Structure 1
């Protein structure tokens, strides 16, 4: 099957459905290696193909602005789009985008973003105040118990322990390097990232950590000679500095992640199961009272069920789980309830459902993490018909 694409700079083109699907997967960051190679071969076949691919990246604005897209309730979403946006547009656009929507909704929305920007955003939620996205902020608890609000601090150098200092930057905190030779007297600090916050931390060994909202991390101001151990509750992305003489370990309630110099993401929010996703390197999952270690290779996810104490390992597209570190929300067939839980932490809002059934609607899409929440909710409304009302910092969801 083929479909027609037309935008405001190029003439009408006809492209194969499979190519469109692979471009969509590429732009979404979920393309497989085999599909990526096939797409690259197609791009290299002709200048026309290469030009089209480049224009899709630029004009679709996926890479720059990550416009909202989804594929839930496709026909209903299209009817709403048709009724609200297209009546005053060219009939050719209506035919092209309707056909493209059936094939690849994200591509259609990427191509139609110009038209959307020209029309009134009738799907936007009713709001009483603008709600901004999260920002860099944290509370630092020093070894002596003193608490500092890092967001509001103007000084660049902070005394974090006896004779120890760290430097505050625009993104986070960088500790001075060094080893504590007296391991029995390790000094611990704790970073508390509130709802609506994120933070970058560089530990004394050079390990880089990005902490998501509603996350706590306890760590030594300086590590000892034998090991490097930190304690996590929440979500964090680690890039561990290699050191064969001092293993790195992330302690989580009910389990631990043994690290062998690597990049990985851990989601260990209180009361939820733990997910460990390996980007590169090698990690092992250890459980209390067990000698067994579950080894992960890149591209693997370990799911720890806190209730049963069991670990399951599967292959995943890691970008789906680490996209938040690059400013993107990535949802793949997630329920509206799961999505709203994620948004509530990042935007520091509460959610109230007037219609319980909407919790089970499923949604897939990539959404810009630094957009105002009204933009994201508007995209969901356009696709599903679910309505949102924002009163102060409470989102009311109705059908």
Structure 2
């Protein structure tokens, strides 16, 4: 196992404590088995290595991190590796990319049942349904989701300003205080425009900003060609059609999908389109919106389809429409808060009993016929007034 420890120690030496994703302090690290799901590039690997270096601070050989697609596992399995690790004093095991390992659920169950004082943390693609593996992990694993960065985290990472996170209720009722605090330290609008283009993933500090769209295209290819190939058993022909579907959607989202028309364009069946839409949504490449009053079920046509985040828009389309960018941003931030969002009869989004309409700086309530409980999320303003809230403030919620 020397090769696994060597690789682990090399990675650990490159980890610092300059920036922690918000989830770091929200995870109950005392649980015996923890799953961290999230899109590629969201910082799952760094999060686990930071936990080892700054949380556990383990003694020699007490902790081990590896990726489940390491070539070590061409000739070894997880249970065998864990047994050797445990017998040599190991008590904290961190497994990355677990969906790349064929028998992950069965072997994790065996590990959980065989080593009661071993703590296991593993990461996976967002598309993996952890509770539908070959073995029942529902009573054994606690799952956390790590989305891309909020605008608040982006400001922390790129400018060093660590503002508090605010609830949706605080945004609604105290946005003037929030904007005064932020504006006392920086001008938010230039940073917000940059965030919308390329600030959703932590790679912003590691890459030339101009190459980030190319990097995002590579992430899309990897999700479809690799992650979904493992999880949904795609072949090359299926992967090609799924990427073609994504390209069709990028040209027109947000929109109300005509599944029959899409199926004809990519020469497949309606059932395949429904299935692929669901998988792309689980993989955090799309977001869906269902009209208020409707139930939610698998293979149900969403009332509107969005790209999952605004950076994907800029990676897949040369000049995305600003109205689409604004709506995509707000839906993304609300979804990342685990809010249930519906498409209201009037307005853009319904969250609980709050209707939110999105627009530019001149947007007002006369255009939406709102109920009493509503907000206008207005772009291109630094300060709001009353029920008019700067759009960027909705990026300060996690």
TM-score class, shorter-chain normalisation, is: under 0.3
Q: Which has the higher helix share?
A: 2
- Per residue, is there more strand in 1 or in 2? 1
Q: Give the TM-score taking structure 1 as reference length.
A: 0.26
State the structure with more CA Rg: 1
